[in-house]
Amino acid sequence: MAYIASYIIIWWIVFFISLPIAIRETEISDDIVYKKEVTNLRLGLKAIIVTIISIPITYYFVHFFNQFLLSLVM
């Protein structure tokens, strides 16, 4: 259960960190207003990469956290 809860929390943290990376924008220029429009967020690719990255991070986090708790007992 610790792995599942840790994985979900770590996945969301890493996903939110990856959101501003690799966003494609196009420039829209009017006579008066200059705007940028987001054309591609690549959310599917980011979710796949975050899923792969989060697996080892979760394993090491739970392992070290359990070792820390065991060291408090002994």
Give the start-to-end residue ranges of the domains of the chain: 2-73
β-sheet bridge partners, residue 70: none
Give pLDDT, residue 33: 72
CA distance 21 to 36: 16
Beta bridge partners of 38: 25
DSSP label of 20? T
Show pLDDT as tens, one digit a residue, over the chain (74 residues): 889 999 999 999 999 999 888 777 777 777 777 777 777 788 889 999 999 999 999 999 999 999 998 898 87
Q: What is the pLDDT of residue 9?
A: 94
